[in-house]
Amino acid sequence: ATSGPAAPAPPRVLTVAGSDSGGGAGIQADLKTMLALGVHGMSVVTAVTAQNSTGVHGAWELPEAAVRAQYRAVVDDIGVQAVKTGMLASATLVETVAELLATTAAPAVVDPVGVSKHGDALLAATALDAVRTRLLPAATVVTPNLDEVAQLTGLTVENEDGMRRAAGAILAYGPRWALVKGGHLAAHGGRAADLLTDGTEEHWLRAPRYGNRHTHGTGCTLASALACGLAQGLTVPDAARAAKAYVTGAIAAGFALGAGIGPVDHGW
């Protein structure tokens, strides 16, 4: 390239999450989503997983100091217009990240990652209390699926009324908005609707449901797309609708890879 005026900087979005060596979920899904949606993506790695289409084969949490140093390096120099959090592994890292978020004015999308689709634990059971009392109050939007709702609130959701009660229980922990994802209901014969609410407004996000089994990285992708929309200046409901549309396309285009569950396609 020849020299000339610098191009205007795109919005900057930070993901605080775990690495998926298979490239389908976690940090890798987040950065691909950010590239596809036209923002500058940055990452604070909280844990490294040895992972592929058949599951998580090992996971190593990073030291608290490494998480703090990455966060401060990025936020204090480059700045962020939105933050997304994913796999935080332990109570120590949950508390650290909650404290770091409180130092940042940008909106925070918290994906309360608990267990992978293969059933691998991505969060220690001893960290649930810190998620409820420290992380959720720091969230602009929290995006639990129904398994995470059950873990965090003890509620078993069986229909859309149950999703309303679940959202209320999540909001009681202090996030501004709850986006309760109903996809796991749909798998049992219901519809693929997600409920976004701040306790006053209620928005049902509905999308066609695809039979595609290659859905690895769905939750990471939705939360990242939502953070991108917020960084681009959308309201929470508009960013959630745009994120739902993006992840629906990514699921429709998900492809087989390896012997197990393939990834959603970020570049569809």
Residue 218 CB, shortest distance to ligand PLP, in Å, is: 5
Task: Give yes or no for residue 184 binding ligand PLP (CB under 6 A).
Answer: no
Q: SS3 of 112, please? A: coil
- Determine which residue in the list 40, 117, 164, 165 makes contact with ligand PLP, applying CB under 6 A: 117
Which one is catalytic: 218, 229, 248, 254? 218
Q: Both tokens of residue 231?
A: 């960084």
Residue 87 CB, shortest distance to ligand PLP, in Å, is: 4
Q: Which is nearer to ligand PLP, 20 or 61 (CB)?
A: 20
Active site residue 18: no
- Determine which residue in the list 12, 13, 14, 26 makes contact with ligand PLP, applying CB under 6 A: 26
Active site residue 217: yes
Active site residue 218: yes
Active site residue 181: yes
Number of residues that bind ligand PLP (CB under 6 A): 18
Which one is catalytic: 26, 182, 217, 254? 217
Q: Which is nearer to ligand PLP, 41 or 86 (CB)?
A: 86
- Determine which residue in the list 43, 85, 116, 197 makes contact with ligand PLP, applying CB under 6 A: 116
> Cα separation of 264 and 268, whole Å?
9
| Strands laid side by side in the 12-20 sheet | 55-61, 40-52, 12-20, 82-85, 108-110, 141-142, 177-181, 193-197, 202-206
> Cα separation of 183 and 168, whole Å?
18
Supply the DSSP symbol for 8. P
Task: Give yes or no for residue 52 binding ligand PLP (CB under 6 A).
Answer: no
Q: Both tokens of residue 131?
A: 């998620």
The answer to whether residues 79 and 12 touch, using CB atoms and an 8 Å cutoff, is yes
Residue 181 CB, shortest distance to ligand PLP, in Å, is: 11
Q: How many CA atoms lie within 13 A of 62 on its CB side?
A: 23
For the chain, the farthest-separated pair of C-alpha atoms sits apart, in whole angstroms, at 60
- Beta-sheet strands, E only, within the chain: 12-20, 40-52, 55-61, 82-85, 108-110, 141-142, 177-181, 193-197, 202-206
Tell which positions 137-166 bind ligand PLP, by CB under 6 A.
none
Tell which positions 187-226 bind ligand PLP, by CB under 6 A.
216-220
Q: Which residues bind ligand PLP (CB under 6 A)?
A: 17-18, 20, 25-26, 49, 51, 86-87, 113, 116-117, 122, 216-220
Residues with active-site annotation? 181, 215, 217-220
